[in-house]
A and B are shown apart, each in its own frame.
Chain A
């Protein structure tokens, strides 16, 4: 049986060095919660780089194509209009006037696609009940969740204390 324990810290540097030491001891650090983004925390925990910016690029590229396709269809293919003699018979010649909308639509898709992906992947939605481990974990305390065998519990508690945890919750 494996067991989860939450070590509570009150300083980000202590947390970072605790993660390093605990991992060196072979104790599995599952997750950490902090009131603000702690620089280097993702590396310390061994998290992979997020691919959300790649997703954003793909959404943006989709937006670019959709916008150009839409304007080509509406103003070139389906119903060309002679507006002040501007070239309206092919996309190539009309493209300068299409750039602003193409740009805006690219940004629209890249930004909203990325943010929606972020919310869904991180399970951030209105109505989600938060799992608040410590009442001050968003204020000035840090939570480190570790996992180990039930039989090792006392050793893990000892190690957490040794590396600066001010409190341990299970």
Chain B
């Protein structure tokens, strides 16, 4: 294809790569032995994962009483963690689906790992749902089976049932979207395989792909339609999650602003997680020429805008609480900001509203240390947001004699910290066995957006 892109646009692939260089650079982590940093990270993640396993086993064996819940605060870290993880997953779909529809070519170096993040984050989220049921062997009850317990069906008016449909659709659609994109890349690894075992496994994984013109034509159509389906899907998923709260009558939860507010927060925290992961991945796997400062800058802009939307939602919520004239609603919000959980509220405000405003500075957006630091801060802030919404709305209910605080036990803490292990173990395996960059699709922009096509540009 002829070069139709302005030479003033920054190059998306640096280092004057050829098509073959892209193949080499992306396949190298799969074909080489992992270095000691990878083993250290993998060891740590596995250890944390074991803590999670222990906490889950203990919870299921003994009962939910081991978490520190009480009769006033019946949802605490479990649902906080669930919403946090689902939210993180949303950035992957935003990058692969919404940016595809908007023809944003910079998505191509980051979509694969962001989608992997989505898959593993949704697994973590689902684990909290299953565990918080207390009796995971009846986890199939929310599905519409004709049952032998009586002639009752599930209640389709309930947002918790919507959630079951939303999360399972989201997970399975994200999975096939991700896998379909992976097939051509697996074929490359298969063709290069030197060992018998690698040849065998990647032949199975690549589904016999040979890249004929008809297959590519269908592949592109499938990607486009899946992106079109995944875009409203991802927006619906966090809207439905927010309705778990919004359709209740608890002051602090019963607000119509929740769906857009939750979706913006989800994308905000998801992009922060993408930054955290990619800043390490690009360094460890030597992919700095593919995931460039420009990519980081673009993601920071999305963090800035979604962070500002979230900040705007916080203020709106406060204003509406006052404007509603409902005493209970007003108290719920005053209590959040000045009650015994004031520290959680102000941590949330500082991390989510004030800190992303630093991203207005172009210098800071392009600073890797600052980006990494802020991405961690945003993830902490977004965890606190869910904690504030859930626990502070519950802990002081209508009857002052049942007002209480929530204190997590080591089991509850273990489930949260341990879920990071549940996330990082598969993510680290992904970086070893799967191509972390969608190289087949990235090759399409080499001629128009590679650094060699930008030579002679007089910008700067």
Complex Cα–Cα for A112 and B222 (A): 11
Contact of B23 among A112, A129, A140 (CB under 8 A): A140
Complex Cα–Cα for A97 and B155 (A): 10
Inter-chain CB contacts under 8 Å: number: 206
Structural contact, B153 and A74, CB atoms closer than 8 A: yes
Task: Output the least CB separation between B211 and chain A (Å).
Answer: 5
* A111 interface residue per 8 A CB criterion: yes
Residues on the B chain within 8 Å of A35, using CB:
19, 184, 188, 211, 440, 443
Structural contact, B208 and A115, CB atoms closer than 8 A: no
Structural contact, A137 and B210, CB atoms closer than 8 A: yes
Complex Cα–Cα for A25 and B72 (A): 82
Task: Output the least CB separation between B348 and chain A (Å).
Answer: 28
Structural contact, A13 and B1, CB atoms closer than 8 A: yes
Residues on the A chain within 8 Å of B218, using CB:
50, 52, 118, 121-122
Which of A70, A94, A110: most chain B CB closer than 10 A? A110
Tell whether A115 pairs with B217 under 8 Å between CB atoms, given A130-B208, A139-B191. no
Task: Output the least CB separation between A7 and chain B (Å).
Answer: 14
Tell whether A100 pairs with B211 under 8 Å between CB atoms, given A37-B220, A138-B184, A138-B187. no
* B122 interface residue per 8 A CB criterion: no
Structural contact, A111 and B214, CB atoms closer than 8 A: no
Q: List residues of A (19-54) whose CB comes within 8 Å of B's CBs.
A: 31-42, 45, 47, 50, 52-53
Total count of chain B residues near the partner, CB < 8 A: 68
Task: Output the least CB separation between A145 and chain B (Å).
Answer: 9
Total count of chain A residues near the partner, CB < 8 A: 68
Complex Cα–Cα for A138 and B152 (A): 55
* A64 interface residue per 8 A CB criterion: no
Task: Output the least CB separation between B131 and chain A (Å).
Answer: 23
Complex Cα–Cα for A122 and B217 (A): 11
* A124 interface residue per 8 A CB criterion: yes
Q: List residues of A (111-140) whose CB comes within 8 Å of B's CBs.
A: 111-112, 114-115, 118-119, 121-133, 135-140
Residues on the B chain within 8 Å of A13, using CB:
1-2
Complex Cα–Cα for A143 and B124 (A): 43
Complex Cα–Cα for A16 and B157 (A): 56
Contact of A115 among B153, B176, B440 (CB under 8 A): B176
Residues on the A chain within 8 Å of B20, using CB:
136, 139-140
* A9 interface residue per 8 A CB criterion: no
Complex Cα–Cα for A133 and B232 (A): 41
Complex Cα–Cα for A45 and B232 (A): 35
Complex Cα–Cα for A52 and B220 (A): 10
Task: Output the least CB separation between A109 and chain B (Å).
Answer: 10
Dominant SS at the B interface? helix
Structural contact, A37 and B208, CB atoms closer than 8 A: no
Structural contact, A100 and B165, CB atoms closer than 8 A: yes
Complex Cα–Cα for A115 and B153 (A): 31
Complex Cα–Cα for A53 and B165 (A): 23
* A104 interface residue per 8 A CB criterion: yes
Structural contact, A53 and B443, CB atoms closer than 8 A: no
Task: Output the least CB separation between B173 and chain A (Å).
Answer: 5
Complex Cα–Cα for A125 and B217 (A): 18
Complex Cα–Cα for A53 and B2 (A): 28
* B18 interface residue per 8 A CB criterion: yes
Identity of the chain A residue whose Cβ is nearest the Cβ of B233 in the assembled complex: A107
Tell whether A31 pairs with B153 under 8 Å between CB atoms, given A70-B144, A129-B208. no
Q: List residues of B (134-167) whose CB comes within 8 Å of A's CBs.
A: 144, 151-159, 161-162, 165-166
* B215 interface residue per 8 A CB criterion: yes
* B209 interface residue per 8 A CB criterion: yes
Chain B, 346-388, contact with A by CB distance < 8 Å: what is the 0/1 string? 0000000000000000000000000000000000000000000
Which residues of A line the B interface, CB within 8 A?
Answer: 12-13, 31-42, 45, 47, 50, 52-53, 56, 60, 70-71, 74-75, 78-79, 81, 83-84, 86, 88, 94, 97-98, 100-101, 103-105, 107-108, 110-112, 114-115, 118-119, 121-133, 135-140
6 contacts between A and B (CB under 8 A): A32-B213, A56-B229, A78-B153, A114-B222, A139-B19, A140-B19
